[in-house]
Amino acid sequence: MKFMTMIVYPVEKAAEVSAASDKGWASAPRERRAESSYVLMSVPFDVPPNSLVAFSIGESDSAEAMAGRVYPQMLAGATVNIIPLLEVPAGGGAKAEKKYRG
């Protein structure tokens, strides 16, 4: 299943959170590494002042596997949200809507 992991952390914790993130992803199996990772250049919602927002999209088989990768970032001072994603093919929105409507 695909997940978006959103991480919010104070600027002063950037070094610690980045190091924890790198360590966590380095130990992830190659097939379960993040497909992409981004640091937002502007914040699209309310976050504490002087905070950074980053997110990545990846796959995982279990909540335990996700927790093992993000827990060190939480210990370093980040707030982590893991959001399950429903993949809808581009141009296939109407077909997906009909499928899930029942």
| Per-residue pLDDT at 22 | 83
Radius of gyration of the chain (CA): 15
Over the range 71-97, which residues count as b (16 or more CB within 10 Å of their CB) and which as e? ebbeebebebeeeeeeeeeeeeeeeee
* 2, 61 contact by CB (below 8 A): no
Indicate if the pLDDT at residue 13 is higher than 90.
yes
pTM: 0.74
Mean pLDDT over 38-46 rounds to 80
Domains of the chain: 2-101 (3.30.70.120)
Mean pLDDT over 33-54 rounds to 81
Please state, rounded to an integer, the average pLDDT across all residues of the chain. Answer: 84
| Per-residue pLDDT at 8 | 92
Indicate if the pLDDT at residue 33 is higher than 70.
no
Over the range 7-21, which residues count as b (16 or more CB within 10 Å of their CB) and which as e? bbbbeebbebbbebb
| Per-residue pLDDT at 49 | 86
